[in-house]
Chain A
Amino acid sequence: MSKKLVLGFDDSESAKAALDFATTLAKAQGAEVIVAHVLEWSPYSFLTKEELEERHMRRKEELARAEDALLKPVLKKLSDAGITATTVLRYGHIADTLVDIINENNAEMIVIGRTGHSALSSRLFGSVAGSLAQAAPVPVTIVP
């Protein structure tokens, strides 16, 4: 069984850098890449009546958009480079969900870009990379 590494991916610049890093690393080690994208979601947030009504529809749209715009190009890029890759698309708390994905796949490491969110929200709520560094059960590579 080959090694597995999880790449936490979103549409930020540093995520692209993380993708490049993961590509080089996976090639060198012959590892399999699991590209994970987590849509931030809390079941305890407050929604308006219209948001409630449209939620199911929006969820479908969000999933489709993430799949098409985000994950497919990455998957193509990785397979062009001759790397075995799969994708995971989930809703949830980003860092916690990435940890779940690592555990479910018995991955050996995770690669993630440094700044996904804006600087202000990172300052207020802590960044994904920061919380992952604390919570991940495997080595974390944070790519600037």
Chain B
Amino acid sequence: MAEIHLDDLKKTPLYDRHVAAGGRIVPFAGYALPVQYPTGIMSEHKWTREQAGLFDVSHMGPSFLTLSHPGGEADADHAAIAAIIEPLICGDIAALKPGQMRYSLLLNDNGGVADDLMIARAPGADGGLYIVVNAGTKDADFALIAAAAGDKARLSRADGDYALLALQGPEAVNVMAQIAPAATELGFMTYGAFDWGTDRIFVARAGYTGEDGFEILVAKQDAEALWDSLLADPRVKPIGLGARDSLRLEAGLPLYGHDLGPSISPIEADLGFAISKRRREAGDFPGAARILAEREGQLRRKRVGLIIEGAPAREGAEILDAAGAPIGVVTSGGFAPSLGKAIALGFVPPEHAVLGAKLQVSVRNRAQAAEIVPTPFVPHRYFRKSK
């Protein structure tokens, strides 16, 4: 394998902070990022579940899509911008209320997932969308969105000029109350702009751990000050990529490039909820023929959650039926610190994708017992406001 030199990697605005904190720096999606800090993945994971973890996710792709010529009427402007992004995805963006955020999927013409992303309607009347895509796919995604926008809208990448921080865990809301009190009024999957001292920060109540929490976009020159302010709170510790992965796996959240990819459809990935009703009825998204047929039951494989006895089954491990015949493959697997056992996500044919089904996984050529269980493996604890 070719050696990757850290010098060739991009650094986030918080790189020096990670090094100073003893972070073990690894290459990830072209960036030099900490996989863990000195206390290790297990303690970082548990800290996030019990207190609040702070993640540098500046490698991701935050962006703003704004109309080139807004008419000034909020709903009409929103309808216009929704009409630009909707042909690429399967979500109902037109229906978003100001400040509302939605998880959606960028699709290719074969009905495969080109990326999963977050799209929020700007809270004010300025007719814009806030869009966050994955690090590994961001250049392709942004090219696609910019092409769809043409001269009707402008896509401004915020990666590079901003840092993106995630504050996650049951104490996150109490920590945020000290930083930007008004942001604690946000409900799960809503978004707004807030004052932080003399600066403006963009905050979404969302995350990738299954816990309550916030994702905070801050101008890069202010990133270290915000990072330091958050870490000054004894309830907050910095968390690396290792625990980010084990937390999202326990939360049953798919990881693009592993549990999602260009050949995997939303139905196969068990993300049917991301196909909004209006879009489904209209069938007006890329790959609709395949996706709607799969939704009616013509499905080759389906993503499931597995609890595994014994050694962790990692990505690529074969899933076997009870008799030992190969039926599928693990796409994410590891040890679940909150559960003290091995868990995995993987794909099996629909006839096997039954809760409670006793299967096996092959680890180092030995079959180990595995059972299909509901996901999330660890219950989500989002802060949902009653409507």
User: Do A and B come from the same complex?
Assistant: no
- A residues with a Cβ closer than 8 A to B are none
- B residues with a Cβ closer than 8 A to A are none
